[in-house]
Amino acid sequence: MKNKSNNFVYIDGANLYKGLESSGWAMDYGRFRVWLTEKYGIKHAYIFIGLIPKYKDLYKYLQESGFTLVFKEVIYDGNGKPKGNCDADLVLQAACDAYENKFEKAIVVSSDGDYAGLIKFLSERGKLEIILSPHAKNLCSILLKRTGAPIAYLNDQKIILQSQKEKAPGADGTAQGSFS
């Protein structure tokens, strides 16, 4: 455990959600925050996310779980689908924090190759701990893989991080029903 470290995590909220959804599971964000603290010594956890008013309960839950939310104004495409690209905001925050020496190491949660430049920047300065990919290994960007940075896959932590609400009865192998 590295819980005495001063490490920061930068999370692409949409990429995290979509990656886990494509793998067929939902995360318990409270457990995730504790796991990040215990495993990586996270003191500050940013989630970069589009602001959609109907998700105010989700935002409240994330904040109560210990995340700092960085909102991006959302625009809607012609089909009414929301788009809130947070990549530039995440890169800028991480680069500023690195230059200001606010953290020892950074963890980036995303599978998006758009972050390859940030990963190289942090690695060259000895500031990158790891990339946590929410997508399966074969769906994580080759651009991230080519950086040579360590990558861990959140699917490998599913048993620890999965929302209990999402588990089907008996999915964990335990017996169902009463023994009385």
140's CB contacts (< 8 A; 6+ apart) are 111, 133, 151, 153
- Given a cut of 80, whether residue 79 has pLDDT beyond it is yes
- Given a cut of 50, whether residue 152 has pLDDT beyond it is yes
pTM, full prediction = 0.88
| More confident site: 92 or 81 | 92
How far, in Å, CA of 65 to CA of 80, rounded? 30
Collapsing DSSP to helix, strand or coil, 154 comes out as: helix
- Given a cut of 60, whether residue 178 has pLDDT beyond it is no
Query: Domain segments of the chain: what residues?
Result: 7-161
| More confident site: 79 or 91 | 91
Q: Decide yes or no: CATH 3.40.50.300 for domain 7-161.
A: no
